[in-house]
Every structure is written in structure tokens, then in C-alpha cells.
Amino acid sequence: MNQATLGRAITFEGAGLHTGVDVRMRIRPAEADRGIIFVRTDLAESPEIPVRLDYLIGTERETTLGRGEVTVHTVEHILSALGGLGIDNAIIDINGPEVPILDGSAAPFVEEIRKVGIKSLKSPRRIFRVREPVWLEDNDKQIIILPSTDFRVSYTIHYPESGIHSQFYSLSVTAESFEKELAGARTFCTKDEVEELRGAGLIKGGSLENAIVFDEKGVLPQCRLRYPDEPVRHKILDLIGDLMFLGCQVKGHVIVIRGGHALNVRMARKLDELKQKTVAHYHRSLSVTNEQLDIEAIKRILPHRYPFLLVDRILSIEPGKKIVGLKNVTGNEHFFQGHFPQYPIMPGVLLIEAMAQVGGVMLLSGSNMPGRLVFFMGLDNVKFRKPVVPGDQVIFEVEAVKIRSRTGLMRGEAYVEGTLVAEADLKFSIPEEG
């Protein structure tokens, strides 16, 4: 599936929920790989703030972006609308400090986006697949992500002292289900919270026109629910907006119990740490000054040849210090013919051999020793954590721990889509020539 943007620009006007400031916001199409970027058009030089975790500065009652002294508040609803509809790239011009709250949901954004259409771009969509359980806890709050072929959210909220009580909702999130089941869910609070927030100088733009208010008996008579479980659906809406800071689409089953913006963002940061171990991250994050080696360059350094050359590409290298290499695992590999052919798994010893070859490139590159041999002296702390199968791309990160003139120690780790699949300490020697 390819990346997408809006068909053409759309404009919104209204007050911010917390600041009460009237703003005009224009969302424009953007090219592939641009991501979502806010532009404060009311300030000198129109500073830009990309939707990235580096610029996320607040999650107390809403999600806030900041770059230096420039901020944009309450961005979660528009980000949820973009993410829910599968839009990866857009420029958001805004002439004030906060996104307009409109009716308190994502529905007005979705409606206008549908009117102008969604344009497919040529670049493939960035996807991060969760391959093993990831979880976080904060007292009685939990968020867990399990492997799944789609993006599913199961959410539980619990407000025992108010008329909201406990609610649970679960769905597979697609553009269609987002628009039908989530987009219209509005922000909510309890009657007690209204006074507390006003006392803190917040919700200056809040009203019963853009929020649902509950007391101990239930929803206030002036409010009419759009869904019987509207609060929990709005929590899922917020979650989708907060996960947009990851910069890619998540494939996994997200299970949340009593979550909120702070926990959502902590999970986004944890996923980002895993994402940095993926091929896509390395290809995007490396600058043109980083040295990369293709298979022919690797052959000029290592003496290995088919079928025992197990490194396809070097993605990043600091000679004598650290290296990142890539192995594409295909169903045509010679070892699959005899190693569990009914259930092909890459032999663990070959994973370690590939790791060692990557380390060998680090040791021999930038030296006067291309074509020399690097021999194992020993292996310690070897662990095989997950099977590697045809179709996987394995990232090897190898770092020098202790290097002497002819011997040393390296630490190697192998990752597939951010998941650690193997690790080892590699002791080596480089014999004298001749």
C-alpha cells in the first residue's frame, strides 16, 4: 500500500479548547515522505514543527507540539483524523497556538477530507509490525501491544465515581471503521473536572457544544450521546492521534486499560526505539556522508564467497568502532533445502556467522588488510530469541568492545523488524600474513 495525502487544501476556523483563541487552520497536500508538519503562519518566518516525538512537549490534558518557544496545542483530533483515514503527508498552516476544537470530535475533519478526496502517492507506506508483546504500566494504567495482521484497538475505561462507570470497546481500525465508529466521538469530562480545569485557566473555548459532561448520575440532560459508549470511543480516537508521532502505521493489537495521552506517548517512544532497529529506519535516517557498502564492495574486503557470503549490504560503518549490516533471507537459500524444509528456519549458527562477517567488515575496512582473515577465538552469551524465516530482513549491529593489535571482542545483535532475534559476544583474532 502506498502513502497518501489530501486531494486538495481544506480550511477550518474556530476556537481552541483550552486557550479559547480563534484560529484559522488550512491543511494542504504534501509530497511523499514529508510527513505531517504544522506551520505557525502568525509568527515571523512561519516556523515549522514536524509531528515527531522530538517535538512532543506536553500530554497533561491534551497533546502539545513545541519547537523552542513555538507551540501548537491539542493536535490529537486532527492527527487522529489524518491517521484514521490513512493520510501520511500534509502541511497544516495555523495562525494561532491551538487547533480549533470544532465539535470536540474528528468528524468535521473527516467530512472535509472526504469532500476533497485522498490522493495516493508513489512511495510505499511506512509500516511497523509488532512481532512480540510490548507493554507499559503506570499504577492502574496499562497499555499492551500484541502481534496482529491488522491494527486493532481494545480499550477499557473505568470511572467508578462518575456516571461514566466502566466501558469497553474493541475494533479493527480501517478508514471505514474509523469514520463510522470513532470519528464522531467527542471529548468528555466530569462536572467536577469542569470547575477544576476552569480554575487552572483551561477549557476557555469549551462548552456543551464541543464536549460531553457527566455527573454522578450519568450524562447531563443538555448533552445527547452519539454512541452509547462515546467516552471509550473518544479514548481510542485520541490514541490513534498520539500514535501518529511514530511516523508510520502500526500493525498490532493495542490493548489499553485506563490509558491517556501520557501513556500513549510513552508507548510511541518505546515503539520508536524498536523501529530504529529496522531496515526502513536505517535507509531513511542515514545521511549522504555515511559510508555504505554494496555486495561488490563487501567482496573486496571479505574473502567469503557463495554460498557462504552471508552479508548483502553494509548500511552504516565506523571503522574499528561500530557497523550495521543487512541480510535478506529468501526461500532460495541453499540451507533451507535440508534444514527443516517443511518449516524453513535459518540455522542459528549461520545467523552468528553472518553477524561475525559484518564485524569482520568493520575490522578490515579502512585498513590495509582487505582480503585478510578474521578467525573466531570464542563465543559467549549466545542467545537465539526468535526464528528467522524466508522473507525476513535481518539487521546486524556489531560494536567493538575491546580491540588489540591482533585480537579483540565484539558485541553483536540481530534484529528483524525491531525485534531482537539473536545476540552474541564474539572473540576474534587476525593472524599475521603468510
Task: Determine the average pLDDT of the residues in 136-155.
Answer: 95
Residues of the chain with CATH 3.10.129.10: 284-429
First vs last Cα of the chain: how many Å apart? 54
**How big is the CA angle at 41 (ends 38 and 43), to the nearest 5 degrees?**
110
Q: pLDDT for 224-241, tens place per residue? A: 999 999 999 999 999 999
Residue in 240, 11, 37 with CA at minimum distance from that of residue 116: 11
182 contacts 197 by C-beta, under 8 angstroms: no
Residues of the chain with CATH 3.30.230.20: 2-275
The yes/no answer on whether domain 2-275 falls in CATH 3.30.230.20 is: yes
Instruction: Label residue 339 by pLDDT band (50, 70, 90).
Output: confident
Instruction: Label residue 86 by pLDDT band (50, 70, 90).
Output: very high
Is 253 among the catalytic positions?
no
What is the torsional sign of CA 196, 198, 202, 208? positive
Is 339 among the catalytic positions?
yes
Task: Determine the average pLDDT of the residues in 117-124.
Answer: 93
In terms of CATH, what superfamily is 284-429?
Hotdog Thioesterase (3.10.129.10)
Given the C-alpha cell 477530507, which residue does it identify? 113
Q: pLDDT for 253-301, tens place per residue? A: 999 999 999 999 999 999 998 888 776 666 555 544 456 888 999 998 8
Q: Among the options 261, 283, 304, 334, which is catalytic?
A: 261
